Chains A and B, each alone.
Chain A
Amino acid sequence: MTMRGIVFLASIVLGGTAGDLCVSRAMKHIGEVKNFTPRHLLRVLLRAFRVGWMWLGLALMTVAFFSLLAILSWENVSFVVPATALNYAVGALGARFLLGERVSAKRWGGVLLVCCGVALVWYG
């Protein structure tokens, strides 16, 4: 794999996961949603889009999306998509160290099984 491929793959995995983590942080800032009426949900969304983390998250997800489109122009889908299964492992690491979530051994086991499963699905 070329250096260009490594850079774009890292951008997909790290950008996509970091984007998700930022969105998660923004939603935690809003607090637990307990009222699910359309009016209340609209208010929650408007509040969420006033949090800087939300915009940073969306920007990082956009970078990851365009990196995916770019890498697919020269690498095979059968290579790229299984590689993005790394998202699950990186996501759990980010949640542990950046969001302070307690990732138990059982949850780690589940995350690793999901990673292996996603890779198998795409190779299949």
Chain B
Amino acid sequence: MKTPHGLRGKTGVLILVMVVFGPLGDVLLGKGMKPIGAITSWSPTAFAHLFTRAFSSALIWCGIGSLLLFLLAHLLVLSWADYSFVQPASATSYLVVALLGVLWLGEAVTAMRWTGVLTICLGVVLVGGTPPRTTAQG
């Protein structure tokens, strides 16, 4: 099946939004929750205090915003592209997670983890070489 250039282009743009904003949202939530500390009490008062502190953090709001963008892109791309195309292609987020970990959080990434990321990228290249849509619309 021949894929229109525009279809491949907008699919690529939305998958790019997913692989950037999904991991970014996770990292922002992680960074926002760290200063709040571990949950030590499960009482309603402690939870109310936790929520108040969490939702007064700009990082948490940026994280929520990023994840909402991710969700919107995910829903929109599925309105035309195959699930069997979108799901593996969005695994490129593992590369973004590794890069964010190294460059922003200063984490060490092991050789095995880089091998995994490279294997995922090879898989994504293979999937990306197939048409994004193989079913009729409607």
Contact = CB atoms under 8 A, between A and B. Distances in A.
Given A21-B83, A41-B72, A120-B119, A111 B127 contact: yes
A101 to B, nearest CB: 5
Interface string A45-70: 10010000000000000000000000
B127 A27 contact: no
Contact of A104 (B72, B94, B130): B130
Interface string A91-124: 1101110011111101101111111111111111
Contact of A110 (B86, B111, B123): B123
A100 to B, nearest CB: 6
B84 A114 contact: no
B51 interface: no
B95 to A, nearest CB: 10
Interface residues of A, number: 46
A121 B79 contact: no
Interface in B71-88: 72, 75-76, 78-80, 82-88
A47 B85 CA distance: 24
Interface size class of B (residues with CB under 8 A): 35 or more
A102 to B, nearest CB: 4
B108 to A, nearest CB: 11
B79 A44 contact: yes
A60 to B, nearest CB: 14
Given A27-B79, A99-B135, A124-B111, A107 B116 contact: no
Contacts of A21: 83
A124 B115 contact: yes
A71 B80 CA distance: 34
Interface of A: 20-21, 23-24, 27-28, 30-33, 36, 41, 44-45, 48, 87-88, 91-92, 94-96, 99-104, 106-107, 109-124
14 contacts: A33-B79, A36-B76, A91-B83, A101-B84, A104-B130, A106-B127, A106-B129, A110-B123, A110-B129, A111-B88, A113-B120, A116-B123, A118-B116, A119-B116
Given A111-B84, A114-B120, A120-B112, 9 more contacts: A45-B72, A95-B83, A101-B82, A101-B84, A102-B134, A107-B126, A110-B128, A114-B88, A117-B91
